[in-house]
Structure 1
Amino acid sequence: MLVDELNHRVKNTLSIVQAIAHQTFRKNADPIEARHAFEGRLIALGHAHDLLTETNWENASLGQLAEVTLDTKGANADLISITGPSVLLAPKQAVSIAMALHELCTNARKYGALSEEDGRVRLDWSKADDARAQLCIVWRESGGPPVSPPARRGFGSTLLERTLAHDLDGEVSVEFEPEGLLCRIALPLESSIAGIRS
Structure 2
Amino acid sequence: MDRAITWSLNHPIAPLPSYAIATVTIVAVAMARAQLVTSLLPWLLFVPVVLILGLLLGKGPGVYAALLSAFLAAVTIAGAGTPFWLTTQQWAATAVFAAVSISVVMIAAELRAAFRRLATQADEQARTNALLIEQDERLRLLNGELGHRIKNLLTIVGAVAAQTLRKAGNLKTANDALASRLAALGKATEFLTASESDSADLHALASAAFDAHGCHGSRCHYEGPVIRFNAQVTVALALALPEPVTNATKYGALSNDVGRVDLSWAILPGPNGDEPRFSLTWQERGGPEVRVPTRRGFGSLMIERSLRSYFRADTAITFDPADVVFKIEAPLAGAGMEGR
State the TM-score, normalized to the length of structure 2. Answer: 0.54
- Alignment correspondent of 1:178: 321
- Tell me the residue number matched to 2:58: none
Q: CA deviation at 1:70?
A: 1.5
Which of 56, 64, 74 is the equivalent residue of 2:196?
Answer: 56
Structure 2 counterpart of 1:33, which letter?
T
Does structure 1 residue 111 correspond to structure 2 residue 254?
no
CA distance in 1, matches of 2:266, 2:245: 20
Contact 1:133 1:194 in 2 (8 A): no
1:30-179 correspondence runs (5 A): 30-56=170-196, 58-71=198-211, 75-78=214-217, 79-128=219-268, 130=270, 131-179=274-322
Check the 8 A contact 1:57/1:91 in 2, yes or no: no
1:47–1:69: 8 Å Cα contact kept in structure 2?
no
Q: Which runs of 5+ in 2 are unaligned?
A: 1-140
> Does structure 2 retain, via aligned residues, the 8 Å contact 1:146–1:178?
yes
Alpha-carbon distance between aligned partners in 2 of 1:99 and 1:57, rounded to the nearest angstrom? 20
Q: Secondary structure at the match of 1:24?
A: helix
- TM-score, structure 1 as length reference: 0.90
Task: Describe the superposition over 1:71-107 as per-residue Cα deviations: whole angstroms up to 9, x where unpaired.
Answer: 18x8211321011111111111111112111111111
SS in 2 for 1:9: helix
Contact preservation (8 Å) 1:164, 1:171: no
Greater fraction helix: 2
Secondary structure, in 3 states, of the residue corresponding to 1:26?
helix
- Give SS of 1:187's match: strand
**Greater share of strand residues, 1 or 2?**
1
Equivalent residue number for residue 18 of structure 1: 158
Q: Structure 1 residues 144, 30: closer, same or farther in 2, change over 3 A?
A: same
State the alpha-carbon separation in 1 of the partners of residues 338 and 234 from structure 2: 16
> Which residue matches 2:22?
none
AA partner of residue 139 (structure 1): W
1:9 and 1:189, CA in 2 relative to 1: closer, same or farther beyond 3 A?
Answer: farther
CA distance in 2, matches of 1:178, 1:38: 30
Gapped regions of structure 1 (runs ≥ 5): none
Alignment deviations for residues 106-165 of structure 1 (CA, whole Å, 9 cap, x no partner): 111122111111111000110135543422111000110111210011111111111011
Q: Distance in 1 between matches of 2:197 and 2:235?
A: 11
Rounded Cα–Cα distance in structure 2 between residues aligned with 1:90 and 1:17: 19
- Greater C-alpha Rg: 2
CA distance in 2, matches of 1:150, 1:191: 30
Q: One-letter code of the match for 2:292?
A: P
Structure ranking higher on relative contact order (CA contacts 8 Å, 6+ apart)? 1
- Give the root-mean-square deviation of aligned CA atoms: 2.1
Distance 2:232 2:256 in 1: 33
> Aligned to 2:294, what secondary structure does the other structure show?
coil
The verdict on how the C-alpha distance between 1:28 and 1:5 changes in structure 2, with shifts beyond 3 A counting, is: closer
Distance in 2, matches of 1:68 and 1:186, equals: 22
Asked whether the 8 Å contact 1:133–1:191 carries over to 2, the reply is no
Is the contact between residue 128 and residue 134 of structure 1 (CA under 8 Å) also seen in structure 2? yes
Q: Distance in 1 between matches of 2:222 and 2:175?
A: 29
